[in-house]
Amino acid sequence: MRAPPRVRFAPSPTGALHVGSIRTALFNWLLARSGAGAFILRIEDTDQGRHVEGSEVQILESLRWLGLEWDEGPEVGGPHAPYVQSLRVETYRGVAEELVASGAAYWCTCTAERLAQMRAAQRAAHQPSRYDRRCLGRPEEVARERAGGTPAVLRQRIPEGRTEWVDAIRGPVAFDNAELDDQVLLKSDGFPTYHLANVVDDHLMEITDVVRADEWIPSTPKHLALYAALGWAPPRFAHVPVVLSEDRQKLSKRRGARSVLEYRDLGYLPVALVNAMALLGWSSPDGEEVLAPDQIVARFSLDRVQPSPAVFDEQRLDKLNGLHIRMLPLTRLAELLAPWLPAASDEQRLSLAPLLQERITRLSDATTLAAPLLGEVAWDETVEFPPRKVDAATAADLLDACAAAVEAGGLEDITALREQLTAMLEQRGLKARDGFRVLYVAVLGAPAGVPVFDAMRFLGAEATLPRLRRARAHLPS
């Protein structure tokens, strides 16, 4: 039997997490949870130039809101702490020394100008842009320059040959090493690049499966060369397909992709977002679409992840969000509605929850739908009144009958009240649905909304009667 997986999500704090990047976190989390393994969070912040203030906090908040709790990582700790790369720089330098000693890495003092000239010449000759190994051939000189204070970077010496691996999602992948650049491992300020820090940490943190975005595929042969040079067993790799927006462009911050926390603030449920993201490239073996996180965990495996790009469709998210809202226990829905109905008491929210549950797509929809029940409704001259299909005389009789019944305690039994008024409308050859629009406009200010008899009961006779009478006054007598 395979040992439980140890997987990691390794974001760089370069901005808020959007659906494309958090989907990678989700697949890692699912793999860990479905195999009783560990989900590790590691902050890859060695590129100080791209650091965006506050993004770590947002990353942790996004993961927590989604319920993707990590077993090791920032704020949680663990046997391989610290889990923030800028705090591990000495570790990477130590490994860099080993690579120099074994000849798998070499120092390079080429200046930025020289590298720019080299690249320009390569471009002009239609050659791929790649370090020409000038410094590899002059180690003594480079050593003297370094001793004299010339800034130097450490480069990986890519070995000859081919690199192959079997990707858990892509299948066999092969690279000719001649295509690979002798990339920088340590920058001149002594900070590691992504490649060195990532490989060192994945090894030291005993990562068994690297599940990451497929944009990293070209880096994987370089990483495998580092594992080989260090005599370390590499992890398995699974490169997840890119997430595209509906216009089939890569989802990215620059293209207006929303961050996870924006979805929260728009009134989406974390479980719906998890559900929608899981379906980006993965599908349930039995084809079910509406799944709670624990159901996804129970069904998840990487071999059901497609290698082709997945399209993130907000309409599908909306649909799933509505369905997950319908599945909530009313007490839970009432709690979740609190930020959207700030004026409502706990008790009011509890009575509103069943009226809203079937009618909202996002929690935020509750604000507009419940507004006529939580505050005054101004008479809106632009709303057609009486509504289509209802003549003024019938509307007047309906409002009078309704007001009389409400005054006589009719809200005690709204089923009976509805039946009484339905019978009256039908006698006049009108469908209840059409006739009741009169009551909707009267009570809620619009021809549709939450069920109007429930609305009247919620408001009580005292608040309902003036609305019925006001509407009556807007009819010709």
Which residues are known to be catalytic?
Answer: 253
Nearer to ligand GLU, 9 or 340 (CB): 9
3-state secondary structure of 439: helix
**Least distance (Å) between residue 370 CB and ligand GLU:** 41
Would you call 288 exposed, middle or buried from its count of C-beta atoms within 10 A (0-12, 13-18, 19+)? exposed
**Least distance (Å) between residue 208 CB and ligand GLU:** 14
Q: In what order do the strands lie in the sheet with 38-41?
A: 38-41, 6-9, 209-213, 236-240
Nearer to ligand GLU, 11 or 372 (CB): 11
Q: Which residue shows structure tokens 């129970």?
A: 298
Q: Let me know: does 261 contact 62? Beta carbons within 8 Å.
A: yes
Q: Which residue shows structure tokens 């720089």?
A: 89
Nearer to ligand GLU, 8 or 33 (CB): 8
**Least distance (Å) between residue 8 CB and ligand GLU:** 7
**Least distance (Å) between residue 39 CB and ligand GLU:** 13
Would you call 388 exposed, middle or buried from its count of C-beta atoms within 10 A (0-12, 13-18, 19+)? exposed
H helices present in 245-329, as ranges: 260-265, 270-278, 293-299, 314-326
3-state secondary structure of 22: helix
Nearer to ligand GLU, 191 or 216 (CB): 216
Nearer to ligand GLU, 42 or 472 (CB): 42
- Chain center to CA of 425: 49
**Least distance (Å) between residue 298 CB and ligand GLU:** 26
**Least distance (Å) between residue 470 CB and ligand GLU:** 59
DSSP string, 191-234: PBPHHHHHHHHHHHTT-SEEEEEGGGGGGHHHHHHHHHHHTPPP
Q: Let me know: does 248 contact 16? Beta carbons within 8 Å.
A: no
In sequence order, the β-bridge partners of residue 90 are none
Interface contacts to ligand GLU, rule CB under 6 A: 10-12, 44, 194, 198, 212, 216
User: CA–CA separation, 94 vs 105, rounded Å?
Assistant: 13
**Least distance (Å) between residue 333 CB and ligand GLU:** 36
- Give the angle subtended at the CA of 108 by the CAs of 103 and 113, to the nearest 5°: 155
- What amino acid is encoded at 330 in this protein? L
Q: Let me know: does 46 contact 287? Beta carbons within 8 Å.
A: no
Backbone torsions φ then ψ of 8, nearest 5 degrees: -140, 150
Nearer to ligand GLU, 156 or 198 (CB): 198
